[in-house]
Amino acid sequence: MFSGLNDEIETINGYNILNFNLESNTSLIIESTTLNYMDGKLIIEPTKMSNTGFLSGLKRSIAGQSFINTQVTNKTNNKLKLSLSPTLLGTINKIEILPNQIWRFSPSSFIACTNNILVSGNLNIFSNFKAAIGGQNILYVEISTTNQESGIVWISSHGAMQKHEVKMGKDSEKLLINDGVFVGMLSEDKDKKMDYWKYFVNVGSANGFFKGLLTNTALLMNISDVKQVGTDDVKCIVYTQSLNIRNLNNYIHSIVVNTVNQNNNTVTIGNIVNRLTGGEDNLIKLNKYQNKLNQLNI
């Protein structure tokens, strides 16, 4: 199924790129901000607001994705290339979505999907409260199929992405996830009548709450079957990333604060970019070279 997409996750100089060779009369839904380049003969256009109309687009935008879905279609008789990239410095993973499954992913992680996938947002802060206490997000991108056929979604992470299959039931395994490392999980399977998010997402600590206070691990996302509602053959599928997005946010925040203090409470984008890239030193070098060039011209 979906053989006309001819997708490939390519690694160039250590970075992942998602390539498609779209065959005739095939289409793909993408997050437009991840587009690298595409063949000029491809048709790119906004799609309908999915099955749930305006509300789905609103939920999607609040959860960190574009308000309107973008569809790329090949209407020629030749194969045409499309290239996408992760939203952050990380990797790309291809995940199959079965009918009647609902998945939740961290904001801004969605790259692309087959055109039978519904991309929405889960804004239920009450059901997401335990995950938020455990250092994760309060809002999520929600993925499901629009028909009784399997679909595919491509997700990006910050750093490497790892898949975990955590055994539930009486002898439940336990997976503790640090702040900002959770990417997504299978949240509900209607065929199996199992709500993984409701029953298996908890808050816990590695070795006791008070010891956790001293090691900053008192409140972690805890994937386990605390209430023993699962069976031995039930596994909770979870994805994590190797780089902590909260550390990146804190680093950028510290740069902004320092820039405010050093510029009489005035923040400029140039100052922030210079601090992130070493641009101040490069600018000094450029001025020196320009001065030398001017002297040679004389």
Q: What is the total residue count of the chain?
A: 298
pLDDT the model gives residue 55: 63
pLDDT the model gives residue 92: 95
The amino acid sitting at 110 is F
Same domain, 170 and 105: yes
Q: Which residue has the higher pLDDT, 118 or 24?
A: 24
Residue 101 belongs to domain with CATH number: 3.60.160.10
- Name the residue with tokens 């992470």: 157
Same domain, 232 and 253: no
Same domain, 8 and 119: yes
Would you state the structure tokens that stand for residue 293, as one six-digit string?
């060039």
Section 113-123 average pLDDT? 86
- The mean of the pLDDT values for the chain is 82
pLDDT the model gives residue 227: 87
Task: pLDDT band for 116, please (50, 70, 90 cuts).
Answer: very high
pLDDT digits (tens, 9 = 90+) for 164-175: 999 999 889 999
pLDDT digits (tens, 9 = 90+) for 97-109: 999 999 999 988 9
Which structural domain range is residue 258 located in?
249-297
pLDDT the model gives residue 218: 77
Same domain, 65 and 10: yes
Same domain, 283 and 198: no
Alpha-carbon span 104 to 120, nearest angstrom? 10
Q: Which residue has the higher pLDDT, 213 or 119?
A: 119
Task: pLDDT band for 49, please (50, 70, 90 cuts).
Answer: very low
Q: Which residues contact 285 (CB under 8 A, 6 or more apart)?
A: none
Same domain, 197 and 229: yes
Q: In this model, does residue 36 exceed pLDDT 50? A: yes
Q: Domain count of the chain?
A: 2
pLDDT digits (tens, 9 = 90+) for 192-215: 999 999 999 998 887 777 776 766
From 243, 267, 284, give the residue that closes a domain: 243
pLDDT digits (tens, 9 = 90+) for 63-79: 556 667 789 999 999 99
Same domain, 152 and 263: no
